[in-house]
Amino acid sequence: MSAAEKLLLRFPHFRHPWRSRIRIGISSCLLGQAVRFDGGHKHNGYITETLGQFFDFVPYCPEVAIGLGVPRQPIRLVKSAHGLRARGAEDASLDVTDKLVAYAGKVAPKLHELSGYILKKGSPSCGMERVQVYGPQARPVATSPGLYAGTLMAQWPELPFEEEGRLMDPVLRENFVERVFVYHRWQQLTAQRLTARALVEFHTRHKFIVLAHDEKRYREIGRLVATAGRRGLAGLGRRYIQLLMQALKKPATRTRHANVLQHLSGFIKQHLDAADKRELLDLIDSYRRGRVPLVVPITLLRHYLRRFPEPYVSAQYYLAPHPDELMLRNQ
């Protein structure tokens, strides 16, 4: 039995009431819909079975939506004198660039209903990044986002986007899911009239999440929130969520997580005897060195917070930013 498993047996998890399911846009083929150019699909079991415990998926296939059949001639991105084009891989006279961009323009206004979007890797329409761009000699000359995905991301820079292939990386997977839950909480907050008090409270509960990602942005956001009572809240709210989501795109590291854990442990150190302090600090150091997963020191810290309540610390979403069932901090 691993150190993490032994610790989890000793100290049960915090439980957050994850009441509302979260709507996520997704490339249809990842749900098992047979919409690929070859008549197949790219069903991803992790997405549907694990993330599907908490997410409701809203499928989109732009290539089918613009009238391309199943099966169909594959398309690819081509560099031309008129910019980036989406053309048939076998018949270059097929050009669906304008249709893809127009369809993205129709979908974009609906994204306010979503809290994230999972895209198909490498797709000339849906790829998030590094999609091959071909030159005149039919050889790759560059990379780019897919035309549909690129249009959506440009119009919704705060919305969490990710490719299904990158979700297989534990760090990027947790980063995406964390961003989705933070953004969803922001949407719930702003569904009602935003007040200075509500903004300050929201930031107070998320500040250690930000610190684990980007200390520079953490300080910039803190200065912004300090002006909440002195400037228009509409503009302030827009700037706040822009900076927050920019900060969270930067993956957290073991060193930054360890620094946050040490900071939080400072709030309860007066309640701990020398042996308890040493155990907690040793676990934080073991995490920093890559010997145990993040769940181990966090579980011990949450145990101490049950014994010695500190409302400010217990209210921090950093300690439970997403459901424990997803086991995103167990790697």
Which helix (H) or strand (E) segment holds residue 132: the answer is: strand 131-134
d(CA 120, CA 35): 12
pTM: 0.92
Q: Report pLDDT for 19.
A: 67
Q: Give the separation between CA 85 and CA 166, rounded to whole angstroms.
A: 25
Map out the domains of the chain as residue ranges.
Answer: 22-167, 169-249, 253-326
CA atoms in the 13 A half-sphere facing the CB of 45:
0
The pLDDT profile of the chain, 331 residues, written as one tens digit per residue, is 444 334 334 433 344 556 689 999 999 999 999 999 999 999 999 999 999 999 999 999 999 999 999 999 999 999 998 889 999 999 989 999 999 999 999 999 999 999 999 999 999 999 999 999 999 878 899 999 999 999 999 999 999 999 999 999 999 999 999 999 999 999 999 998 899 999 999 999 999 999 999 999 999 999 999 999 888 899 999 999 999 999 999 999 999 999 999 999 999 999 999 999 999 999 999 999 999 999 999 999 999 999 999 999 999 999 999 999 999 999 8
Beta strands 131-134; 117-119: pairing state: unpaired
What pLDDT score was predicted for residue 2? Answer: 43
Contact 326, 291 (CB under 8 A): no
Which H/E stretch holds residue 97? helix 97-107
Check residue 21 and give its pLDDT.
Answer: 93
246, containing H or E segment: helix 233-249
Q: What pLDDT does residue 6 have?
A: 43
Amino acid at 98: D
Cβ(297)–Cβ(254) below 8 Å = no
Give me the pLDDT at residue 231, please: 81
Quote the tokens at residue 135. 């030159």
pLDDT at 317: 97
> So what's the pLDDT on residue 86?
96
| Token code pair at residue 233 | 């809240």
CA distances from 175 to 62, 107, 297 (A): 26, 25, 19
Question: How many whole angstroms from its chain centre is CA 40?
Answer: 28
Q: What is the pLDDT of residue 18?
A: 62
Q: Which residues contact 23 (CB under 8 A, 6 or more apart)?
A: 55, 56, 57, 58, 113, 114, 115
DSSP 21: -
pLDDT at residue 84 in the model:
94
pLDDT at position 318: 98
